[in-house]
Amino acid sequence: LKFVCYSNDGVDEHMVWLIGLKNIFGRQLPNMPKEYIVRLVMDRSHKSVMVIRRNQVVGGITYRPYVRLNLHSLNISQKFGEIAFCAITADEQVKGYGTRLMNHLKQHARDVDGLTHFLTYADNNAVGYFIKQGFTKEIHLEKDRWRGYIKDYDGGILMECKIDPKLPYTD
């Protein structure tokens, strides 16, 4: 079992994993248009943390890091990630992969991207999962950091997670 984080960087092997992941999103997120899923998964400003087992993608999270500094010349930086899609393939759900995936995402986002928070529009039926991963419906992040940057999405509830600055999330 391994956890990797790739974007569409022209490496063949990364592309194979990203295609596997977009197929899982296509099946697990039936309300999302397929073209929209492909567009974001293959977009170079998005990254995907994936669980790979026996050379197969089991699931993943696609997110966009926002890292602009001195936003609006106000000396505030963004440093948050927007989670676009999150799913585990049907026959591997509720086995703990979703939790381990989120922990790897937090570790990577903090240590590689320098992020402090995540935001996501959670589907109603996934709110319970996000709460277990430390997300809240209260948004503490200053509006200046995110308003106008993340896409409004009717079918979901905006949720936030603060990334602990020190905690080891993975072993």
Q: Which residues are catalytic?
A: 82
DSSP state of 136: B
Distance CA 14, CA 126 (A): 27
Rounded to a whole number of angstroms, the minimum distance from the CB of residue 11 to ligand ACO is 25
Pairing status of strand 156-162 against strand 80-88: unpaired
Q: Rounded to an integer, what distance in angstroms lies between the CA atom of residue 10 and that of residue 152?
A: 30
CA distance 102 to 6: 15
Q: Is the dihedral of CA 88, 93, 97, 103 positive or negative?
A: positive
For the segment 64-93, give every residue that binds ligand ACO (CB under 6 A).
83, 85-88, 93
**Encoded tokens for 146:** 């995110």
- Does 94 contact ligand ACO by CB under 6 A? yes
- Least distance CB 92 / ligand ACO (angstroms): 7
Nearest CA-CA partner of 76 in 7, 149, 156, 166: 149
DSSP code at position 11: -
Question: Of these, 132, 136, 164, 170, which contacts ligand ACO (CB under 6 A)?
Answer: 132
- For the bound state, the minimum distance from the C-beta of residue 115 to ligand ACO, rounded and expressed in Å, comes to 16
8 binds ligand ACO per the rule CB under 6 A: no
Name the residue whose CB lies closest to ligand ACO: 98
Residue 120 touches ligand ACO, criterion: CB under 6 A: yes
Rounded least distance, CB 77 to ligand ACO, Å: 24
Locate 34 and state its tokens: 């397929």
| CB 51 within 8 Å of CB 100 | yes
x/- site string to ligand ACO, residues 16 to 55, per CB under 6 A?
Answer: ------------xx--------------------------
| Residue from 17, 80, 118, 129 binding ligand ACO (CB under 6 A) | 129
Which residues sit at the interface with ligand ACO, rule CB under 6 A?
28-29, 83, 85-88, 93-99, 120, 122-123, 125-126, 128-129, 132
